[in-house]
Amino acid sequence: MEDNNKGTIEENKKEKIEISEPNQKGVRTYSVNEKHKAIKAPYKGVIIFGIIVLAIVVLAVSCNNMTGNLVFNSMKTGNNQVDLPEAPYVGTIYVEGTIGPGISDYFGIPTGYQHEWTLKQIDELIADKNNKGLILYVNSPGGGVYESDELYLKVKEYQKTTKRPVYAYFGSMAASGGYYVSASADKIVANRNCWTGSIGVTIGTLFDFSQLLENYGVKSKTITSGPNKAMGSNYDELTSEQLAIFQSLIDEAYAQFTGIVAEEREMDIDTVKKIADGRIYTAKQALENGLVDKIASFDDAKADMASEYGLEDCEVIDLEYTDNSFFGTLLGKLNVKSIKQTSDLDVLMKIVEDNNSFPVSYMCEALQ
């Protein structure tokens, strides 16, 4: 009897039993209702956030399908318009990071130096009568030959069209392409801790796995329309002819670089070539070699420009690329890390993949 009562008590903890009054025949009815406990969702917040993000992405894709690329691109990149003053000013454009076509993160949001925006911004300065000068703030290890030359030519266009002064200020580094884009400046001022120079050209590192494959009994054959069509392949040894072809690309870009330095710095070409062996110079060494005009702080450089060209009444404003897009605002500083490498071979292959595109570039490898 005692055991039965205990069982009944345990059951009542799980169930709610209702007993009716006896009817005319003396029969009672029983009603049993199970108690359901609320299930806690420890990841409820994460799940809700994920649903919201997914809904936004679906909405963006729907907008893209409905109204075309214009809407989606506006959401993704914004208009990045800079409001220019309605009074005389000097504009500072920042050339920071690798000088390339434009870098985007995992979500396609632009980060770092934005080439097309920079060129367009200089065009805006050319057209603006209130603009009285340009400062290039350079903090870059260099970049692509094409983009470096485009920016150099755009600065030259600014000088030729407006007759306004251009200063270049070197931050912690202004190497290779970073120096190239600054060469035409009316004055180059370097921070005392700046590393600059690295005048030269690189085509990157070519990897040859042909001997490794042979050691493992693996043979490869690349089918091409000509003997030099696949030169630089990981699986074929570089011939002397192919090496000479690559070297000719380097030599032409090098001649262009040293020629610009000689012309803009008013130096003898032979003198330039003696110091243009790719080495990095400190600010003091660069000053001694005629690569910079002054060692000073950024504030001193701005004051020097104002005094030299009578621009004391001009405000110096920063013209920086700002991601004002919908997605940029939404995601903020969110960083998506790359997939962790699981072995030494994975790391090796990643290095090969990153370095084997061999673009000809004005890049300082040590500062990259």
- Please identify every residue annotated as catalytic: 176, 229
Give the C-alpha separation, 301 to 189, whole Å: 6
| Residue in 38, 112, 52, 57 with CA at minimum distance from that of residue 322 | 112
Residue 167, token pair as written in the block? 């200063």
> Which among 63, 313, 277, 50 is positioned nearest to 176, based on CA atoms?
277
Cα–Cα distance measured from residue 101 to residue 121, given in angstroms and rounded to the nearest whole number: 15
- Cβ pair 174, 254 in contact under 8 A: no
Give whole-number Cα distances, 192 to 105, 285, 292, 335, in Å: 33, 10, 11, 33
Q: How many CA atoms lie within 13 A of 109 on its CB side?
A: 18
DSSP label at residue 341: P
Classify residue 88 by its DSSP letter.
Answer: -
Is the Cβ–Cβ distance between 134 and 166 less than 8 Å?
yes
Here the tokens at position 36 are 């359901």
